[in-house]
């Protein structure tokens, strides 16, 4: 003869599962709200740009020492990609960016890469060669843009 679990046991099991899940979800929600409320000063002075806002006139440093101001780049759409060789996601997306650039550069797309490696010139040279990157890649010598 088999006996089915009694109702109090089912309630205990349900409570022992639901209570931790609810607590974890509440903690995650609180953390997200806290992160969302942080000001740029609390995030190390990171650039706070809203959708539809005009970007400040950023200055990109070419590995050869020359500089290019964002306002001097004439394109319908400019995609700025911050990347590093140690960033797995960055390296995984690189072929897609190359394909995107090759497909839409004639239609007004410009991609600007900004490398954040410790040795950015070497990273740019080897990665450009490896993936056939034709768009401009720049460095962040002061570490201000990548924050």
State pLDDT tens for residues 26-67: 777 766 666 565 544 444 545 566 777 777 778 888 888 888
The pLDDT of residue 36 is 61
The pLDDT of residue 7 is 60
Q: How far is CA 57 from CA 4, 15, 60, 68, 144, in A?
A: 71, 56, 10, 10, 14
Using DSSP, state whether 85 is helix, strand or coil.
coil
pLDDT more than 90, % of the chain: 33
HSE-CB of 74 using CA atoms within 13 angstroms: 0
Using the predicted structure, report yes or no on whether residue 91 has a pLDDT greater than 90: yes
Mean pLDDT, rounded, for 128-147: 85
């Amino acid at each position: 003869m088999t006996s089915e679990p009694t109702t109090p046991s089912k309630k205990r099991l349900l409570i022992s599962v639901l209570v931790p899940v609810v607590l974890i979800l509440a903690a995650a929600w609180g953390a997200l709200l806290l992160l969302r409320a942080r000001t740029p000063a609390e995030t190390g002075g990171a650039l706070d740009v809203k959708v539809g806002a005009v970007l400040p006139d950023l200055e990109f440093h070419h590995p050869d020492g020359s500089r290019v101001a964002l306002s001097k780049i004439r394109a319908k759409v400019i995609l700025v990609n911050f990347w590093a060789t140690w960033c797995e996601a960055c390296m995984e997306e690189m072929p897609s960016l190359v394909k995107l650039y090759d497909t839409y550069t004639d239609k007004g797309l410009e991609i600007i890469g900004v490398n954040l490696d410790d040795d950015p010139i070497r990273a740019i040279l080897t990665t450009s060669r490896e993936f056939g990157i034709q768009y401009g890649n720049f460095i962040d010598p002061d570490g201000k843009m990548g924050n």
